[in-house]
Amino acid sequence: MIPGARLILLGRQGAGKGTQCVRLSRHYVVPHISTGDMLRAAVREGTELGVMAKRIMDGGGLLGDDIMVGLVRERLSEPDAMGRGYILDGFPRTVGQAIALDEITIDAPLDAVIDLHVPRDLVLSRLSARRVCQDCGTNYVATGSEKMPWICEVCGGDVMQRADDTPEAIDKRLDLYEEQTAPLIDYYSQQRRLVVVDGVATPDEVFHRLTEAVEATRRPG
Protein backbone atom coordinates (compact mmCIF):
# COMPACT_ATOMS: atom_id res chain seq x y z
CA MET A 1 0.00 0.00 0.00
CA ILE A 2 1.12 3.56 -0.71
CA PRO A 3 2.36 5.28 2.48
CA GLY A 4 0.06 7.88 4.01
CA ALA A 5 0.81 11.60 3.97
CA ARG A 6 0.55 14.69 6.15
CA LEU A 7 -0.14 17.64 3.88
CA ILE A 8 -1.34 21.24 3.80
CA LEU A 9 -2.85 22.41 0.51
CA LEU A 10 -2.91 26.17 -0.03
CA GLY A 11 -4.29 28.03 -3.03
CA ARG A 12 -6.70 30.69 -4.16
CA GLN A 13 -10.41 29.94 -4.31
CA GLY A 14 -11.07 28.51 -7.76
CA ALA A 15 -7.61 26.90 -7.99
CA GLY A 16 -9.14 23.43 -7.84
CA LYS A 17 -8.13 22.57 -4.26
CA GLY A 18 -11.42 20.83 -3.49
CA THR A 19 -11.14 18.47 -6.45
CA GLN A 20 -7.48 17.67 -5.76
CA CYS A 21 -7.99 17.21 -2.01
CA VAL A 22 -10.57 14.50 -2.71
CA ARG A 23 -8.22 12.73 -5.14
CA LEU A 24 -5.23 13.00 -2.80
CA SER A 25 -7.34 11.72 0.09
CA ARG A 26 -8.23 8.60 -1.89
CA HIS A 27 -4.69 8.14 -3.21
CA TYR A 28 -2.99 8.28 0.19
CA VAL A 29 -5.98 6.81 2.08
CA VAL A 30 -6.08 9.71 4.55
CA PRO A 31 -8.91 12.02 5.62
CA HIS A 32 -9.49 15.31 3.80
CA ILE A 33 -9.90 17.74 6.68
CA SER A 34 -11.69 20.90 5.61
CA THR A 35 -11.92 23.43 8.42
CA GLY A 36 -15.23 24.69 7.02
CA ASP A 37 -16.75 21.20 7.16
CA MET A 38 -15.18 20.58 10.56
CA LEU A 39 -16.62 23.80 11.96
CA ARG A 40 -20.11 23.03 10.64
CA ALA A 41 -19.90 19.51 12.14
CA ALA A 42 -18.82 20.85 15.55
CA VAL A 43 -21.73 23.32 15.57
CA ARG A 44 -24.19 20.64 14.44
CA GLU A 45 -22.98 18.14 17.05
CA GLY A 46 -22.97 20.74 19.82
CA THR A 47 -19.41 20.13 20.98
CA GLU A 48 -17.92 22.58 23.49
CA LEU A 49 -15.92 24.34 20.78
CA GLY A 50 -18.89 24.16 18.41
CA VAL A 51 -21.14 25.92 20.92
CA MET A 52 -18.51 28.62 21.46
CA ALA A 53 -18.07 29.09 17.71
CA LYS A 54 -21.82 29.33 17.09
CA ARG A 55 -22.21 31.96 19.80
CA ILE A 56 -19.46 34.10 18.22
CA MET A 57 -20.73 33.67 14.65
CA ASP A 58 -24.34 34.37 15.63
CA GLY A 59 -23.13 37.62 17.16
CA GLY A 60 -21.42 38.59 13.93
CA GLY A 61 -17.92 38.08 15.30
CA LEU A 62 -14.86 36.44 13.74
CA LEU A 63 -13.49 33.20 15.16
CA GLY A 64 -10.14 33.60 16.87
CA ASP A 65 -7.12 31.37 16.37
CA ASP A 66 -7.78 29.62 19.70
CA ILE A 67 -11.06 28.11 18.51
CA MET A 68 -9.75 27.06 15.09
CA VAL A 69 -6.59 25.59 16.62
CA GLY A 70 -8.72 23.74 19.17
CA LEU A 71 -10.90 22.23 16.45
CA VAL A 72 -7.87 21.10 14.44
CA ARG A 73 -6.14 19.72 17.54
CA GLU A 74 -9.22 17.61 18.32
CA ARG A 75 -9.52 16.36 14.74
CA LEU A 76 -5.85 15.45 14.37
CA SER A 77 -6.04 13.40 17.57
CA GLU A 78 -8.59 11.02 16.01
CA PRO A 79 -7.30 7.56 14.98
CA ASP A 80 -7.58 8.03 11.19
CA ALA A 81 -5.46 11.20 11.24
CA MET A 82 -2.99 9.90 13.83
CA GLY A 83 -2.44 6.72 11.84
CA ARG A 84 -1.83 7.46 8.15
CA GLY A 85 -2.05 11.24 8.13
CA TYR A 86 -4.38 13.86 6.62
CA ILE A 87 -4.81 16.63 4.09
CA LEU A 88 -5.53 20.02 5.66
CA ASP A 89 -7.68 22.36 3.57
CA GLY A 90 -8.37 25.86 4.91
CA PHE A 91 -5.92 25.66 7.82
CA PRO A 92 -3.66 27.31 8.77
CA ARG A 93 -4.78 30.76 7.61
CA THR A 94 -2.44 32.83 9.80
CA VAL A 95 1.16 32.55 10.97
CA GLY A 96 -0.15 32.13 14.52
CA GLN A 97 -2.15 29.09 13.40
CA ALA A 98 0.89 27.72 11.56
CA ILE A 99 3.04 28.00 14.69
CA ALA A 100 0.34 26.24 16.73
CA LEU A 101 0.13 23.49 14.10
CA ASP A 102 3.89 22.96 14.33
CA GLU A 103 3.45 22.39 18.06
CA ILE A 104 0.53 19.99 17.52
CA THR A 105 2.46 17.95 14.92
CA ILE A 106 5.87 18.00 16.59
CA ASP A 107 5.91 14.19 16.97
CA ALA A 108 4.70 13.56 13.39
CA PRO A 109 5.72 16.54 11.22
CA LEU A 110 4.13 17.55 7.93
CA ASP A 111 5.42 15.95 4.74
CA ALA A 112 4.76 19.02 2.61
CA VAL A 113 3.07 22.41 2.44
CA ILE A 114 1.83 22.79 -1.14
CA ASP A 115 0.75 26.02 -2.78
CA LEU A 116 -1.47 25.13 -5.76
CA HIS A 117 -0.77 28.15 -7.94
CA VAL A 118 -3.32 29.42 -10.46
CA PRO A 119 -3.10 33.05 -11.68
CA ARG A 120 -5.65 35.45 -10.26
CA ASP A 121 -7.24 36.33 -13.61
CA LEU A 122 -7.88 32.65 -14.33
CA VAL A 123 -9.52 31.90 -10.97
CA LEU A 124 -11.64 35.04 -11.37
CA SER A 125 -12.85 33.69 -14.71
CA ARG A 126 -13.48 30.22 -13.26
CA LEU A 127 -15.43 31.48 -10.25
CA SER A 128 -17.50 33.92 -12.30
CA ALA A 129 -18.66 30.97 -14.42
CA ARG A 130 -19.42 28.74 -11.42
CA ARG A 131 -23.00 27.75 -10.76
CA VAL A 132 -24.20 25.75 -7.77
CA CYS A 133 -27.24 23.60 -7.06
CA GLN A 134 -29.19 25.26 -4.28
CA ASP A 135 -30.23 21.89 -2.84
CA CYS A 136 -27.28 19.48 -3.05
CA GLY A 137 -24.34 21.83 -3.68
CA THR A 138 -23.17 20.23 -6.94
CA ASN A 139 -20.94 22.62 -8.91
CA TYR A 140 -21.40 23.40 -12.61
CA VAL A 141 -19.64 25.68 -15.11
CA ALA A 142 -21.77 28.06 -17.15
CA THR A 143 -21.06 28.18 -20.88
CA GLY A 144 -23.96 30.40 -21.94
CA SER A 145 -25.84 27.59 -23.70
CA GLU A 146 -27.75 26.28 -20.69
CA LYS A 147 -31.54 25.97 -20.72
CA MET A 148 -33.37 28.09 -18.14
CA PRO A 149 -34.40 27.30 -15.51
CA TRP A 150 -31.23 25.24 -15.02
CA ILE A 151 -32.08 21.95 -13.28
CA CYS A 152 -29.49 19.93 -11.35
CA GLU A 153 -28.73 16.56 -12.94
CA VAL A 154 -28.08 15.03 -9.52
CA CYS A 155 -31.12 16.01 -7.47
CA GLY A 156 -33.39 18.14 -9.68
CA GLY A 157 -32.77 21.31 -7.67
CA ASP A 158 -32.29 24.80 -9.08
CA VAL A 159 -28.80 25.65 -10.35
CA MET A 160 -27.89 29.30 -9.77
CA GLN A 161 -24.96 31.68 -9.36
CA ARG A 162 -24.05 32.24 -5.74
CA ALA A 163 -24.44 35.83 -4.53
CA ASP A 164 -20.75 35.88 -3.60
CA ASP A 165 -19.63 34.66 -7.04
CA THR A 166 -20.07 38.00 -8.78
CA PRO A 167 -16.77 39.49 -10.06
CA GLU A 168 -16.86 42.25 -7.42
CA ALA A 169 -17.41 39.81 -4.55
CA ILE A 170 -14.76 37.42 -5.88
CA ASP A 171 -12.22 40.25 -6.13
CA LYS A 172 -12.79 41.09 -2.47
CA ARG A 173 -12.36 37.45 -1.44
CA LEU A 174 -9.16 37.13 -3.44
CA ASP A 175 -7.80 40.35 -1.90
CA LEU A 176 -8.53 38.98 1.58
CA TYR A 177 -6.94 35.60 0.76
CA GLU A 178 -3.76 37.22 -0.52
CA GLU A 179 -3.57 39.58 2.46
CA GLN A 180 -3.92 36.65 4.87
CA THR A 181 -1.81 34.15 2.99
CA ALA A 182 1.24 36.23 2.01
CA PRO A 183 2.75 36.06 5.55
CA LEU A 184 1.95 32.32 5.67
CA ILE A 185 3.74 31.74 2.35
CA ASP A 186 6.74 33.66 3.72
CA TYR A 187 6.69 31.61 6.94
CA TYR A 188 6.86 28.27 5.15
CA SER A 189 9.23 29.56 2.44
CA GLN A 190 11.76 30.71 5.03
CA GLN A 191 11.67 27.22 6.54
CA ARG A 192 12.11 25.69 3.06
CA ARG A 193 8.93 23.68 3.54
CA LEU A 194 6.84 25.27 0.78
CA VAL A 195 6.39 23.52 -2.57
CA VAL A 196 4.72 25.53 -5.36
CA VAL A 197 2.79 23.40 -7.87
CA ASP A 198 1.46 24.81 -11.14
CA GLY A 199 -2.32 24.31 -11.10
CA VAL A 200 -2.93 25.29 -14.72
CA ALA A 201 -3.51 21.97 -16.50
CA THR A 202 -6.10 19.20 -16.69
CA PRO A 203 -7.18 17.75 -13.33
CA ASP A 204 -5.23 14.56 -14.10
CA GLU A 205 -2.06 16.48 -14.90
CA VAL A 206 -2.35 18.61 -11.77
CA PHE A 207 -2.91 15.50 -9.65
CA HIS A 208 0.24 13.93 -11.12
CA ARG A 209 2.22 17.10 -10.31
CA LEU A 210 0.93 17.07 -6.73
CA THR A 211 1.84 13.44 -6.07
CA GLU A 212 5.26 13.99 -7.65
CA ALA A 213 5.79 16.97 -5.33
CA VAL A 214 4.88 14.88 -2.28
CA GLU A 215 7.14 12.01 -3.29
CA ALA A 216 10.03 14.43 -3.97
CA THR A 217 9.93 15.52 -0.32
CA ARG A 218 10.49 11.90 0.73
CA ARG A 219 13.58 11.30 -1.39
CA PRO A 220 16.93 11.49 0.42
CA GLY A 221 18.89 14.66 -0.21
The catalytic residue positions are 17, 93, 130, 162, 173
CA distance 208 to 187: 26
Helical segments of 46-128, H only: 48-58, 65-76, 79-83, 95-104, 120-128
- The 3-state DSSP class for residue 220 equals coil
Residue 62 burial (10 A CB sphere; 0-12, 13-18, 19+): exposed
Residue 123's alpha-carbon distances to 36, 109, 150, 220, in angstroms, are 20, 31, 23, 35
> Residue 83: which residues within 8 A CB-CB, separation 6 or more?
4
